Amino acid sequence: MLQLQVIRDRKEDIIRALTKRNIDATALVENVLRLDEKRRATQTRLDTTLAESNALSKEIGMLFKTGKAQEANLLKEKTGQLKEDSKKLGEDLNTTTDELQNVLYQIPNVPHESVPAGNTEEDNEEVFQEGDIPTLQTNALPHWELAKKYDIIDFELGVKITGAGFPVYKGKGARLQRALISYFLDKNTEAGYTEIQVPHLVNEASGYGTGQLPDKEGQMYHIAADDLYLIPTAEVPVTNLLRGEILSQKDFPLRYTAYTPCFRREAGSYGAHVRGLNRLHQFDKVEIVRVEHPTNSYEALDGMVAHVKQILRELKLPYRILRLCGGDLGFTSALTYDFEVFSTAQDRWLEISSVSNFETYQANRLKLRYKDENGKSQLAHTLNGSSLALPRVLAGILENYQTPDGIQIPEVLVPYCGFEMIN
């Protein structure tokens, strides 16, 4: 969520920047300012009332102590009205604070200046492309056909035991999954990220912390009996590790990597584009998360992009990098680069990584701060990215590495797989 102080100071800038997301935030921002003013006015009145009654209480205490019970009882009568007032004011304050909070939750992050304006993915800006798109044999198959042909992923079996979008990986398919996870974790660890394992279920506070709640409530699986959510990404538990922390400047940079399954309801996604591994309810992902000093966060973002590039280079997959336009940018992000691998057999680009800087948007909800050189608390910047998401990398490998004799395993993965070919 945006910082109140920033909205107060730079209202016009914020409204203007948000037009890149094709939203007119004027009404929301005005509402925030109105509620903020109301909140502060109420707070002041409450404070005054409390101060008065505190003073009286102190006086009463003194009187009792010095044996002037009669005078004390006289004063007691005066406190009744104050008590009533402060109760009323306290309720008003809570109501206004909640209202203010709710409006603030509705305002997305302010896009970075480099974010292009635009409505849809068509308007995303390609900033980099690398790798040769292979020429495949004439009867090249999409990955779901390959998965069936070599019996490495069974979608129907997943339907049987759970439902659509929950594939079962078998034999070399399962082994390749495990190989990718290990390979990604190793690469991330080498780059200075600390490997951690986190719970796959989180509580409501964590959902709010990183901004999945209340914005994307319907996209997460919710376990009603225990009021827990299945994580849609490791970003949620990993970033929330730091919730409420006040760091010291020398703690920076904080770098974590974690493998987790990810669960997404994907309500409203149907059709040809969701075939095979393209869109699943459960998939595996290795995530990288960084917490940075504000002055360093964009450098860190570039570093994360460079890191993911390096992995794709090693895998020898053709990919491109897009800078997301305002309309396609996630609610909480200030700047996002999407990585897409070219899926030759499907003749389309598949998103395999999304690397974002959230600036203080998440930190504000998380109350994730650090002490600056003057000893004042400041919000840190949070970033995260996939490094990498498994299913589409797998799809890319299957499709781009297919040969008439089978599917070749990328060289760097052979030591992890223990085989060179799926046939």
Partner RNA sequence: GGAGGAAUGGCAGAGUGGUCGAAUGCGGCAGUCUUGAAAACUGUUGAGGGUCACACCUCCGGGGGUUCGAAUCCCUCUUCCUCCGCCA
Which residue from 387, 164, 401, 354 is spatially nearest to 277, judged by alpha carbons?
Answer: 164
Site residues for RNA, 377-396, by CB under 7 A, read: 377
DSSP letter (8 states) at residue 132: P
Joined tokens for residue 35: 């509620």
Single residue of 6, 23, 33, 56 touching RNA by CB under 7 A: 56
Q: Is 205 in the site for RNA (CB under 7 A)?
A: no
Within 197-315, strands assigned E span: 201-202, 222-223, 228-230, 246-248, 254-263, 282-292
User: Shortest distance, CB of residue 54 to RNA, whole angstroms?
Assistant: 4
Strands 153-154 and 168-169: antiparallel
Shorter beta-carbon distance to RNA: residue 74 or 127: 74
Which one of the spans 47-55, 110-118, 317-325, 350-358 is the region binding RNA (CB under 7 A)?
Answer: 47-55
Q: Is 54 in the site for RNA (CB under 7 A)?
A: yes
In whole angstroms, what is the distance from residue 404 CA to residue 286 CA? Answer: 31
Site residues for RNA, 82-121, by CB under 7 A, read: 83
Q: Is 47 in the site for RNA (CB under 7 A)?
A: yes
Q: Is 79 in the site for RNA (CB under 7 A)?
A: yes
State how far the alpha carbon of 238 is from the alpha carbons of 248, 357, 367, 390, in Å.
19, 15, 15, 18
Single residue of 57, 106, 182, 219 touching RNA by CB under 7 A: 57
Q: Is 43 in the site for RNA (CB under 7 A)?
A: yes
Which one of the spans 123-131, 178-186, 279-287, 370-378 is the region binding RNA (CB under 7 A)?
Answer: 370-378
Q: How far apart are the first and last CA of the chain?
A: 51
Q: Is 372 in the site for RNA (CB under 7 A)?
A: no
Q: Is 44 in the site for RNA (CB under 7 A)?
A: yes
User: Shortest distance, CB of residue 382 to RNA, whole angstroms?
Assistant: 17
Single residue of 22, 48, 129, 162 touching RNA by CB under 7 A: 48
Alpha helices in 226-324 (DSSP H): 235-240, 297-315
User: Shortest distance, CB of residue 257 to RNA, whole angstroms?
Assistant: 24
Residue/partner pairs of 208-212 with CB below 8 Å, 24 or more apart: 208/365, 209/236, 209/239, 209/240, 209/243, 209/362, 209/365, 209/366, 210/235, 210/236, 210/239, 210/240, 210/332, 210/362, 210/365, 210/366, 211/1, 211/331, 211/332, 211/358, 211/361, 211/362, 211/365, 212/236
Q: Is 65 in the site for RNA (CB under 7 A)?
A: yes
Single residue of 76, 178, 313, 348 touching RNA by CB under 7 A: 76
The letter for the amino acid at 284 is D
User: Shortest distance, CB of residue 203 to RNA, whole angstroms?
Assistant: 9
In whole angstroms, what is the distance from residue 17 CA to residue 306 CA? Answer: 27
Strand order across the 402-403 sheet: 402-403, 406-408, 421-422
Instruction: Answer for the pair 402, 136: CB distance below 8 angstroms, yes or no.
Output: yes
User: Shortest distance, CB of residue 83 to RNA, whole angstroms?
Assistant: 5
Q: Is 299 in the site for RNA (CB under 7 A)?
A: no
Q: Is 246 in the site for RNA (CB under 7 A)?
A: yes
Site residues for RNA, 340-359, by CB under 7 A, read: none
Q: Is 365 in the site for RNA (CB under 7 A)?
A: no
Within 360-415, strands assigned E span: 369-371, 377-379, 381-389, 402-403, 406-408
Single residue of 9, 24, 27, 64 touching RNA by CB under 7 A: 64
Q: Is 61 in the site for RNA (CB under 7 A)?
A: yes
Single residue of 60, 234, 286, 329 touching RNA by CB under 7 A: 60
Single residue of 13, 27, 34, 40 touching RNA by CB under 7 A: 40
Which one of the spans 56-64, 131-139, 187-195, 283-291 is the region binding RNA (CB under 7 A)?
Answer: 56-64
Interface residues toward RNA, by CB under 7 A: 40, 43-44, 46-48, 50-51, 53-58, 60-62, 64-65, 76, 79-80, 83, 246, 248, 369, 371, 375, 377
